[in-house]
Structure 1
Amino acid sequence: MSATIRKRSRIACTSCQLRKRKCSGEQPCSNCAQSGSGCYYDFQSRKKKDVKANGKPGLAINPPPKRTNLQDDQGVDRISSVEANSGAAFVRKLGLTIDPTHAPRLHMFAWNVGPRGSPGSTCLGADATVVDIISQAEMVALSTVYFDRVDPCYSFIDRETLLHHVDKRWLSTSNAPDAYDAVLCGVAAFGFLFSRRSAPAAEHQLLEAARLILEQHLSDETPSVAVVTGWVLRAAYLRMTATPHIAWMASCSLMHLVEAAVLMQQSLGPNTNTDPEIRRRLFGMARHLNTWISFDLGRSRVVLQGSTTLPPTPRTGDYTTELFHLLPASESLDPTNTTTADGSGLEASLADVLDVVHAVAPLILAQCNLVLCIYRRLRVATPTISPGLLDRILTLAGKSLAAAREMAAVSNPWHQIANVPFQIVCTCLAIDSRASLALLGEAMRALHAVRDAYDTPVTREAYSTAYLLVRLHRHRREEDTRVLASVLENDPPTGLGVGIPASDPETHGLSDALWGEEWLDLQNFDLDEFLNFSM
């Protein structure tokens, strides 16, 4: 009887490390493939541990192989692709290019406008329900704010159904919360977020009440649509206010709940009696949040296999379907996708996204965020980018900066309001052309407007970091100018150029004229006429 020899992986993914499981070392590993969770390998932390254990680099006990499972048959490094999606990695590499000594740390700058502050003191207990926290009139007013400002771009709740639940909830004689209470709390919290610069105590109480309800239903084998809706609201709210890791974990949990509720299937599962349009929109929102949060952080997204759901139906005054139209291009940036790994595929995808014209500010910023991500991938894939595409990127960037300032003025703290202007600053510095540098002033003014509207540590850090990058770039340019000036001062020319003696009788008079004071007047100098001049 022959024994099967199990291949031992040299490194485990982060999920297997946390759960203390044996990892197969694949992408995804067998455990993550079975659970459907994101599979991510932290090679940088492993390298640091190996260096610490051996005293010096290069002597790791189990050094990683030269070619890992994270490389496909074409040799595309998938880890590099994941990092190329990340805005944080882009900012770090940009800073190292400009000035390695003073480069910003690897950090997700301008992830959102920042946290909403501490909950403050409250006399309500931990078991407080939505009817204990706000009145019915406040609930109606806050839901009006939600449907006016959030629902046009994030439409996945039926307004009449929600108002029916409001009437029913405040008429009920029982104070025991049900699953739909999480939806009411989430909508009310969004109402506070989009109507007040700072959070009242009631906003934090609503969020805590919703969290307790949703966590109680995590053990449900078949989550209800109300539970999934509450999780969509929670993940979207955290994207706008919380730290990146918390938002990413919430979005991954949301995707697993969608799978358990079978919302990615057109006509299967226990929730088939729900409006099919609502099912499609909930699945689209979950995909949108998880995909973009994962890509912004440079982490793996949760992919649900066997999806058969149809796209939502467009509605008048509803822009959610336009947002979902960006999903195919977004998901094509997955590191496992080899069709867009080369420059031609990315340029085609970039051109397709730029061809779309959006009218509302949140979607303009979402489009620009996707364009900037494709640009980051394109910089890694190819050394040259079409000048025409660069011009179109800068045009959309200018439109997005105006949208960000507009949203800051009317208290619409969508998550891209700070992130997109900050990334535009970094992109302009990376392009480093006259046109891109000319846009820097507008980008800094937009970021300044966001900082003034939402004066939080996050917005102040984002503006200070952008200011530092611009200042370092200027310092490098000044150093280059001094080097060029020293070259010109140390060896001034005596003739037209190298190899043309000043005593040449045919060029002596011309050289005296050209290299005189008139040569320094470059504003009126015609280079073509000079190069085509017949001796």
Structure 2
Amino acid sequence: MTEPHRKRSRVACTLCQSRKRKCSGDQPCSTCAQFGSDCHYDLQSRRKRDARLFQLQSAPTDPTTSNGVQPPSKEAKMVSPEETAARLSSLDANSGAAFARRLGLKVDPTNAPKMHLFAWNVGARHPLPSSMPPSFTSAAIPVVDLISQDEMRSLVTTFFDKVDPCYGFIDRDHLLRQVSRRWLPSTYESTLPYGPYDAVLCGVAAFGYLFSHRQANPTERHLAETARLILDQSLLSDTIPTADLVTAWVLRVAYLRLTASPHAAWMASCSLMHIIEATGLHLELAPSDDSAINHLPEPCDPETRRRLFGIARHLNVWISFELARSRVVLHGATSLPPTPRVPGTAEIFTLLPMSESLDPNKSTDSPDLESTLRSVLDQIHILPQLILVQCNLMLCIYRRLRALNCIISGDLLDRVLALSRKGLQAAREMVASTSPWHQIANVPFQVVCTLLAIDNRASLVMLGDAMRTLREVAAAYDTEVMREAYSTAYLLILLHQRRKEEDTKALMDVLKVNSGGSSVPRREEEQETSTEPHHSLADYPGFSWLSDLLIDIPSLGNFDMERFMYTDAWPEGV
């Protein structure tokens, strides 16, 4: 029998091309996925025929024909090679992981860190033993059996003091009424395995523990697991989720973003967006609208609808960006921006339109990105939580501009450094107040990468502050994630320093070779005892411009040019 023909891609990524390997043509290809490398296709340098073949291989199409070839749909819009390359570049530029990888490759391709989401958060809150299955319990525990009412009220206070100022989507009075109702021993709800509001209560309580204890305890773990079991069970129901259930889902996704793996958080955020669509929370309803459009089984305050949808979008957008994955877009959404609780005070929702403008599917050029960057920098936030969100958005836009090889003006670059410095200070304040927002790990790490990429005197001076902040986070939350992030940042700085030393040695070698002893002007003390005629700098070919420089620039009048040229003693190792 003849051996079946092996399928081979007509377009290879840059890494497979350099290694002369067969490329699968996927994104990422099998070789890059195996070695954890940054998979990039240089489509602009390929012929359009090969680029179209690549698009057909990677895009979903109609069923195959009898000979196994997938015919392109006539209605399908062909994407140009330039558009495909720009989208892949934007997808990577949004991700801090790809930025750190490319930074390392530029400095030292051999020792550069692999493609990895460093400093995703401060570390897993509930690391599971290898022998323990993900679902360590099969039944939800009533919240009244996990904590007392006094403990619940204390955790609620922590939540509204530290979490609600940034993620404001729960009505405090409504929550406290539900707490009083749930802990009444004579109510029917107290006899149920879990009440209809237990998922929200468990989610709030888990946040309360997270923002008041540096180390997780079994109670927090049971609260988080109970909320998960209730929400998973709700997906099996045929009934439309209530607004309270959507609230519990938002709490769940936010908690996972701070405590779990990237994939788990992304999957949950996508599920949340689909639940939002099922309930119709993304639609702005007029007072005369009936339940035919409003899918919620019970009325919901318009402001609550807007805030739930806004936080859900924020979480899905940023988790998707940081993982370089697609986000869920609800077409036809008409929800209005939430009204600020304090008039004239900027909230996290004001940054959402600027975040969504970075969608890789949208064509954005340098002027638009620079305008967006200025708009972000113009925002005034006082709370450390929101300063970190603002700084994270600013760093993402800067990465996009660098990917487009855009030259940023000195004034704008100074503002980028100023907000970075402000973000570092906010991160230290969050560590001191036991507020483990994911940005306290992510922002300092990305600031280190950004400062190394800028690579001027002002940015290098800031490196010490950035590393000190990252070290404080690692000391407060001694997890594998933080140790890895700090070690990687240290490695990037070390590689950068070694490159600088190599550049310095190359310059020293040039000066040493071109400073022959017979042509170096001697000092006055040596000239008094020497019988050789005195020579000025102008007497040597090629050095006359130095004398002219001393004359033309008065500020150099005290500069000892002849001593500078007297280079018999060189540093060791040169």
Write out aligned runs for 1:34-45 (5 A): 43-45=27-29
Partner of residue 224 from structure 1, selected from 242, 265, 270: 242
Gaps of 5+ in 2: 1-8, 11-24, 36-48, 60-77, 286-292, 522-536, 551-558, 568-574
Partner of residue 348 from structure 2, selected from 323, 331, 334: 323
Q: Deviations over 1:19-47 (max 9, x none)?
A: xxxxxxxxxxxxxxxxxxxxxx9512346
Q: Deviations over 1:381-438 (max 9, x none)?
A: 1342222211110000001111101110110111101100000000000000101101
The residue that corresponds to 1:466 in the other structure is 489
Partner of residue 479 from structure 2, selected from 456, 477, 491: 456
After superposition, the Cα gap between the structure-2 partners of 1:416 and 1:460, relative to the gap in structure 1 and judged at 3 Å, is same
1:264 and 1:283 in contact (8 A); partners too: yes
- Check if 1:373 corresponds to 2:396: yes
Write out aligned runs for 1:53-452 (5 A): 65=52, 68=55, 72=79, 75-76=82-83, 77=85, 78-118=87-127, 126-171=139-184, 172=187, 173-219=190-236, 220-267=238-285, 268-271=293-296, 273-316=299-342, 322-338=347-363, 340=364, 342-452=365-475
1:153 and 1:318 in contact (8 A); partners too: no
Rg (Cα) greater in structure: 2
After superposition, the Cα gap between the structure-2 partners of 1:224 and 1:377, relative to the gap in structure 1 and judged at 3 Å, is same
Gaps of 5+ in 1: 1-9, 12-40, 52-61, 522-535
The residue that corresponds to 2:38 in the other structure is none
Q: SS in structure 2 opposite 1:100?
A: coil
Deviation at 1:137, TM superposition (A): 1.3
Deviation at 1:179, TM superposition (A): 3.3
Deviation at 1:206, TM superposition (A): 0.6
Deviation at 1:478, TM superposition (A): 0.4
Q: Deviations over 1:174-226 (max 9, x none)?
A: 12323311000000000000000111100000111111100111134521111
Deviation at 1:149, TM superposition (A): 0.9
Per mean C-alpha deviation after superposition, the further-off stretch among 177-186 and 283-292 is 177-186
1:155 and 1:318 in contact (8 A); partners too: no
After superposition, the Cα gap between the structure-2 partners of 1:119 and 1:169, relative to the gap in structure 1 and judged at 3 Å, is farther
The residue that corresponds to 2:571 in the other structure is none
Hey, what's the Cα distance between the residues in 2 that align with 1:520 and 1:182? 77
Q: Deviations over 1:142-180 (max 9, x none)?
A: 111111111111111111111111111122341232331
**Given residue 115 of structure 1, which amino acid in structure 2 is its aligned partner?**
A
After superposition, the Cα gap between the structure-2 partners of 1:446 and 1:514, relative to the gap in structure 1 and judged at 3 Å, is closer
TM-score calculated relative to the size of structure 2: 0.76
Q: SS in structure 2 opposite 1:326?
A: helix
Deviation at 1:504, TM superposition (A): 6.9
Hey, what's the Cα distance between the residues in 1 that align with 2:435 and 2:370? 32
Deviation at 1:128, TM superposition (A): 1.6
2:170 and 2:304 in contact (8 A); partners too: yes
Hey, what's the Cα distance between the residues in 1 that align with 2:217 and 2:428? 25
**Given residue 213 of structure 1, which amino acid in structure 2 is its aligned partner?**
I
Q: SS in structure 1 opposite 2:328?
A: coil
After superposition, the Cα gap between the structure-2 partners of 1:430 and 1:510, relative to the gap in structure 1 and judged at 3 Å, is closer
After superposition, the Cα gap between the structure-2 partners of 1:298 and 1:507, relative to the gap in structure 1 and judged at 3 Å, is closer
Give the count of matched residue pairs: 469
Percent identity between the two aligned chains: 54
Using CA pairs under 8 Å that are at least 6 residues apart, name the structure with larger relative contact order, 1 or 2. Answer: 1
Hey, what's the Cα distance between the residues in 1 that align with 2:563 and 2:137? 81
Q: SS in structure 2 opposite 1:357?
A: coil
Hey, what's the Cα distance between the residues in 2 that align with 1:462 and 1:199? 21
1:113 and 1:458 in contact (8 A); partners too: yes
The residue that corresponds to 1:516 in the other structure is 562
Q: SS in structure 1 opposite 2:183?
A: helix
Per mean C-alpha deviation after superposition, the further-off stretch among 221-230 and 210-219 is 221-230
Hey, what's the Cα distance between the residues in 1 that align with 2:374 and 2:51? 38
Q: SS in structure 1 opposite 2:28?
A: helix
Deviation at 1:227, TM superposition (A): 1.3
2:122 and 2:481 in contact (8 A); partners too: yes
Hey, what's the Cα distance between the residues in 2 that align with 1:475 and 1:223? 57
2:123 and 2:481 in contact (8 A); partners too: yes
**Given residue 419 of structure 1, which amino acid in structure 2 is its aligned partner?**
N
Deviation at 1:328, TM superposition (A): 0.8
After superposition, the Cα gap between the structure-2 partners of 1:181 and 1:387, relative to the gap in structure 1 and judged at 3 Å, is same
Hey, what's the Cα distance between the residues in 2 that align with 1:91 and 1:419? 12
Hey, what's the Cα distance between the residues in 1 that align with 2:125 and 2:356? 31
The residue that corresponds to 1:17 in the other structure is none
1:83 and 1:89 in contact (8 A); partners too: yes
Per mean C-alpha deviation after superposition, the further-off stretch among 384-393 and 195-204 is 384-393
After superposition, the Cα gap between the structure-2 partners of 1:203 and 1:510, relative to the gap in structure 1 and judged at 3 Å, is closer
Hey, what's the Cα distance between the residues in 1 that align with 2:224 and 2:26? 32
1:117 and 1:198 in contact (8 A); partners too: no
After superposition, the Cα gap between the structure-2 partners of 1:424 and 1:49, relative to the gap in structure 1 and judged at 3 Å, is closer
**Given residue 390 of structure 1, which amino acid in structure 2 is its aligned partner?**
L
TM-score calculated relative to the size of structure 1: 0.81
Hey, what's the Cα distance between the residues in 1 that align with 2:477 and 2:435? 11
